[in-house]
Amino acid sequence: MTITLIATVLNEGDNIHRLMDTIQQQTRQPDEIIIVDGGSRDQTVAILRRYEALLPLRVLIEPGCNISRGRNVALAAATGDIIAITDAGVTLDSDWLEKITQPLLDDPACTVSAGFFRADPQTIFEAALGATTLPLVSEVNPKTFLPSSRSVAVRREAAVQVGGYPEWLDYCEDLIFDLRLQATQPPFAFVPQATAHFRPRPTLMSFYKQYYRYARGDGKADLWRRRHAIRYAIYLVALPVLIGLMLFVHPLFALLLLGGALYIRTPYRRLSTVLKALPQTTLFDRVYAASLVPVIRVVGDVAKMLGYPMGLLWRGRHHPPQWKL
């Protein structure tokens, strides 16, 4: 049974060598590698060409394509029975491909193998961001886990059966892909040992833009209505009411703000684990990271509350196809 590894890239000249080097180091080499470039204006393609003599690599150029289109182009060109999918900007454990494809090789009934991903922070801010936004493996329910396309493997026929990735969607495309697979295929195999490492966004503004786009994608795809409604209710109703009670009824109502601690307790529980990825941290670093957690949480929530209605507005204007099977 043959294995094709696919990824999409765009202007990844500064770090694409990290991914390609870790592919070279895999204990189980792919039979084929297809990387689709969306029209990079830097040295990405030139760097990839250097690996063509070292790996079974094909580089396809699709100027202007989004991630979904790029992945679908790679799927269409792939000849492997199993498609392993990852992203530019990550590094892979040396046994990632071996681990993530093993359930598919061992069990003919298994069609999707869900790997895991971990933050690879380079700064204190990135460590705090990773702790705030990414689950630890111990928190994952294997029965409901939906893998990121940073780390997933799927039988080619299953990917084709669900229509690949939704090309009308620019963000959350891998979530729709997962949900369609989940609706039509046997339960996913969860392989936490198949780990991809990626660097969180380096600044608060880049994080805000990322989560704004994620939420806009939710709106475009009509995802998580209840989750977004709860967020609006907390920030636009419950919080103003609480502030009014504090100001006009009794200051002791401020004690209800302690309920906010429950909202950020999980990032604090993760923080010490994520900080271990940094070579050395001081007490000041740990205090600084802890102080960033509530800021990151609020900025992320604001980004979601602004992005989601923009996605709904887009959905109302463009009437995208029904993705649910």
Query: Where do the domains of the chain lie, and which CATH numbers do they carry?
Result: 3-198 (3.90.550.10), 204-318 (no CATH)
pTM: 0.92
**Would you give per-residue pLDDT tens digits along the chain (325 residues)?**
999 999 999 999 999 999 999 999 999 999 999 999 999 999 999 999 999 999 999 999 999 999 999 999 999 999 999 999 999 989 999 999 999 999 999 999 999 999 999 999 999 999 999 999 999 999 999 999 999 999 999 999 999 999 999 999 999 999 999 999 999 999 999 999 999 999 999 999 999 999 999 999 999 999 999 999 999 999 999 888 888 888 888 777 666 677 777 778 999 999 999 999 998 899 999 999 999 999 999 999 999 999 999 999 999 999 999 998 7
3-state secondary structure the chain: CCEEEEEEECCCCCCHHHHHHHHHCCCCCCCEEEEEECCCCCCHHHHHHHCCCCCCEEEEECCCCCHHHHHHHHHHHCCCCEEEECCCCEEECCCHHHHHHHHHHHCCCCCEEEEEEEECCCCHHHHHHHHHHCCCHHHCCCCCCCCCCCCEEEEHHHHHHCCCCCCCCCCCHHHHHHHHHHHHCCCCEEEEEEEEEECCCCCHHHHHHHHHHHHHHHHHHCCCHHHHHHHHHHHHHHHHHHHHHHHHCCHHHHHHHHHHHHHCHHHHHHHHHHHCCCCCCCHHHHHHHHHHHHHHHHHHHHHHHHHHHHHHHHHHHHCCCCCCC
